[in-house]
């Protein structure tokens, strides 16, 4: 098996590449809406009741899905429990080969799947293509990681004693995924569970069932047993049923802090008939800050901050929400950020050159608008981009705020939209204190030319991922393992060497090899 390498993204500066993507969109549109069933084992159930719509044109239905129930969750867990022994009995090499086939299936549908994300989640082309590449990366990376893990870990041995430590799958994994990375995050959690020999039940976000169906098709076509990967589109009730089900061993979740903490609490309960404590792997968002020192190169800092805050309309858990600048450069940074924000292009996701696409739905647009109004009332609007001319969909013009009081919710709560606050700090110490005061600790960024400052901030900040002189977004599998601390997450970093350990349990065997005689006959 060749060494892992990240899947290269398309070169969208080239006209032929752009035309290929547009052609994929033209081919996809007549097939909409897609039908997404409740898919348990070999049975395709209901495929109506839940519609996912295009955020840029809400009258366009992208996928029509069934609405899974608590009863469906019971059946899916039962199917997974039955499929688990045979799937887990396969060698790590066999499981890895199956995941690699699934990766090839996603590659073969790459353009189509990017087009689907443009429609279903309003991801601009570069973001959509990157999402498909990341899904492929997760399958490739965890396939290799499972083989390495299967070799076990060396232990100290002394004369007359043999000690071994191996890892075995835990059982049934409930995967509860978000809409903002509708293929990549779902694939990452599912691939880790399957690579280590577990069976999975997938509950995608209600906004992106079409993307989830594509993953299940790829996994099943690659050879994953039907019972080992079931699909339960629906609402929060089915996710809660999975979390509380005594047959579930691991809950892998990515989403809001509120839901994540409720999952941690529910999973800690041990109902009758459950002989294990559930493991929870949860990524729960962030309030990510960019610190700009007085010696920073603003030519680097400004475009990186704008990308961090406004790419995909700020709908990334790693998106920048606060820019904290040393007082010597704060005014200059604010002016330059204001110019950049006013120049942002707000428009349709399928239009090349769009900087800020529509938000995912009306609820999201209304929530972000409330924060923007609060920020304008508490402080001052430094700049705002022009609204989308045609006014379609759930568009929101990015806003840059300043002069906010320290108790403003805009400075402490996750907004998940294109709202950035810029503020002045008297020192790097003061900037670090503001970051440390937050309950979140996912990503952060520092712009400084001083190696001593970089070392000091890296040692002090609690964030899970600190980026130096670059954007807060864009973690790559195998290169920047991703995950937060404090209330930003529970568990090891996705796309890193420790992630698979959360889906297995270690077992140690110690044998006395100083035998007195041999058994014969």
pLDDT recorded at residue 516: 64
Is 41 within 8 Å of 229 (Cβ atoms)? no
Q: How are beta strands 43-44 and 39-40 bridged, if at all?
A: antiparallel
Is 464 within 8 Å of 442 (Cβ atoms)? yes
Ordered per-residue pLDDT tens for the chain, 521 residues: 899 999 999 999 999 999 999 999 999 999 999 999 999 999 999 999 999 999 999 999 999 999 999 999 999 999 999 999 999 999 999 999 999 999 999 999 999 999 999 999 999 999 999 999 999 999 999 999 999 999 998 899 899 999 999 999 999 999 999 999 999 999 999 999 999 999 999 999 999 999 999 999 999 999 999 999 999 999 999 999 999 999 999 999 999 999 999 999 999 999 988 999 999 999 999 999 999 999 999 999 999 999 999 999 999 999 999 999 999 999 999 999 999 999 999 999 999 999 999 999 999 999 999 999 999 999 999 999 987 655 579 999 999 999 999 999 999 999 999 999 999 999 999 999 999 999 999 999 999 999 999 999 999 999 999 999 999 999 999 999 999 999 999 999 999 999 999 999 999 999 998 876 566 65
- What residues form DSSP beta bridges with 508? 165
Rounded distance between C-alpha atoms, residue 250 and residue 175, angstroms: 8
Q: Is 64 helix (H, G, I), strand (E, B) or coil?
A: strand
Name the one residue in this structure whose structure tokens are 């647009």: 365
Structure tokens at 403: 């002069």
Is 122 within 8 Å of 75 (Cβ atoms)? no
- What residues form DSSP beta bridges with 490? 282
CB atoms within 10 A of CB 226: 16
Strand 172-176's sheet: what is its strand order?
Answer: 43-44, 39-40, 229-231, 199-203, 172-176, 250-254, 279-283, 489-490
Rounded distance between C-alpha atoms, residue 437 and residue 365, angstroms: 28
Alpha-carbon torsion angle 42, 206, 133, 480, nearest 10: -120
Name the one residue in this structure whose structure tokens are 């809400």: 58
Give all strands (DSSP E) within 21-111, no chain letters: 34-36, 39-40, 43-44, 49-54, 57-66
* Domains along the chain with CATH numbers: 35-153+161-284+488-507 (3.40.605.10), 288-468 (3.40.309.10)
Rounded distance between C-alpha atoms, residue 243 and residue 226, angstroms: 21
* Close Cβ partners of 114 (under 8 Å, ≥ 6 residues apart): 21, 24, 125, 128, 129, 131, 132
* Catalytic status, residue 289: no
The residue from 134, 140, 240, 283 that is catalytic is 283
pLDDT recorded at residue 1: 86
Is 287 within 8 Å of 438 (Cβ atoms)? yes
| Alpha-carbon radius of gyration of the chain | 24
* Close Cβ partners of 516 (under 8 Å, ≥ 6 residues apart): none
Is 463 within 8 Å of 480 (Cβ atoms)? no
pLDDT recorded at residue 514: 85
Rounded distance between C-alpha atoms, residue 120 and residue 115, angstroms: 9
pLDDT recorded at residue 35: 98
Name the one residue in this structure whose structure tokens are 């349990």: 505
Rounded distance between C-alpha atoms, residue 401 and residue 337, angstroms: 10
Rounded distance between C-alpha atoms, residue 202 and residue 189, angstroms: 9
Q: Is the dihedral of CA 434, 436, 440, 441 positive or negative?
A: positive
pLDDT recorded at residue 388: 63
Name the one residue in this structure whose structure tokens are 């040692």: 459
Q: Is 276 helix (H, G, I), strand (E, B) or coil?
A: coil
H helices present in 201-254, as ranges: 209-222, 236-244
The residue from 317, 350, 414, 432 that is catalytic is 317
Phi, psi of 162 (to 5 degrees): -120, 125
User: Percent helix, strand, coil in the chain (nearest 5)?
Assistant: 40, 20, 35
pLDDT recorded at residue 518: 60
Is 314 within 8 Å of 416 (Cβ atoms)? yes
* Catalytic status, residue 283: yes
Rounded distance between C-alpha atoms, residue 138 and residue 108, angstroms: 16
Q: What is the DSSP-derived secondary structure letter of residue 503?
A: G
Phi, psi of 74 (to 5 degrees): -60, -45
Distance, C-alpha 519 to centroid of its chain: 55
pLDDT recorded at residue 386: 84
Alpha-carbon distances, residue 81 vs 59, 174, 242 (angstroms)? 40, 12, 13
Q: How are beta strands 440-441 and 34-36 bridged, if at all?
A: unpaired
Structure tokens at 302: 């400004």
* Close Cβ partners of 519 (under 8 Å, ≥ 6 residues apart): none
Structure tokens at 449: 């030319």
CB atoms within 10 A of CB 456: 16
């Amino acid at each position: 098996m060749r060494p892992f390498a990240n899947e290269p993204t398309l070169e969208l500066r080239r006209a032929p590449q752009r035309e290929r993507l547009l052609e994929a969109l033209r081919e996809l549109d007549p097939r909409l809406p897609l039908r997404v069933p409740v898919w348990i084992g070999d049975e395709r159930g209901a495929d109506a009741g839940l519609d996912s719509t295009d955020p840029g044109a809400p009258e366009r239905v992208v996928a029509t899905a069934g609405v899974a129930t608590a009863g469906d969750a019971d059946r899916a867990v039962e199917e997974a429990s039955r499929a688990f022994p045979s799937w887990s009995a396969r060698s790590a090499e066999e499981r890895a080969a199956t995941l690699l086939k699934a990766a090839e299936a996603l590659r073969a549908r790459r353009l189509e799947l990017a087009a689907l994300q443009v429609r279903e989640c309003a991801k601009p082309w570069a973001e959509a293509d990157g999402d498909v590449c990341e899904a492929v990366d997760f399958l490739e990376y965890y396939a290799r990681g499972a083989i390495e893990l299967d070799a076990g870990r060396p232990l100290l041995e002394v004369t007359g004693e043999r000690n071994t430590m191996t890892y075995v799958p835990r059982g049934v994994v409930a995967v509860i995924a978000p809409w903002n990375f509708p293929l990549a995050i779902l694939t990452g959690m599912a691939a880790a569970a399957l690579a280590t020999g577990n069976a999975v039940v997938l509950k995608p976000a209600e906004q992106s069932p079409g993307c989830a169906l594509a993953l299940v098709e790829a996994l099943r076509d690659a050879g994953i047993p039907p019972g080992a990967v079931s699909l339960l589109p629906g609402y929060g009730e089915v996710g809660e049923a999975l979390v509380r089900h005594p047959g579930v061993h691991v809950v892998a979740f990515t989403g809001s802090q509120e839901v994540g903490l409720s999952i941690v609490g529910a999973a800690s309960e041990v109902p009758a008939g459950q002989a294990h404590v559930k493991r929870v792997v949860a990524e729960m968002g962030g309030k990510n800050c960019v610190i700009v020192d007085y010696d920073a190169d603003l030519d680097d800092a400004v475009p990186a901050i704008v990308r961090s805050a406004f790419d995909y309309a700020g709908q990334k858990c790693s998106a920048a929400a606060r820019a904290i600048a040393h007082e010597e450069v704060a005014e200059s940074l604010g002016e330059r950020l204001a110019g950049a924000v006013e120049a942002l292009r707000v428009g349709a996701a399928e239009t090349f050159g769009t900087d800020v696409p529509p938000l995912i739905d009306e609820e999201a647009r209304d929530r972000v608008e409330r924060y923007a109004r609060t920020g304008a009332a508490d402080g001052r609007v430094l700049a705002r981009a022009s609204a989308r001319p045609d006014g379609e969909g759930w568009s929101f013009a990015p806003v840059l705020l300043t002069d906010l009081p320290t108790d403003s919710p805009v400075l402490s709560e996750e907004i998940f939209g294109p709202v950035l606050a810029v503020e002045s700090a008297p020192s790097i110490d003061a900037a670090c204190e503001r970051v440390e005061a937050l309950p979140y600790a996912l990503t952060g960024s520092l712009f400084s030319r001083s190696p001593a400052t970089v070392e000091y901030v890296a040692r002090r900040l609690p964030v899970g991922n600190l980026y130096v002189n670059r954007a807060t977004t864009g973690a790559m599998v195998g290169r920047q393992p991703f995950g937060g601390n404090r209330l930003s997450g529970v568990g090891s970093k996705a796309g890193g060497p420790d992630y698979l350990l959360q889906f297995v349990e270690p077992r140690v065997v110690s044998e006395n090899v100083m035998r007195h005689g041999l058994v014969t006959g």
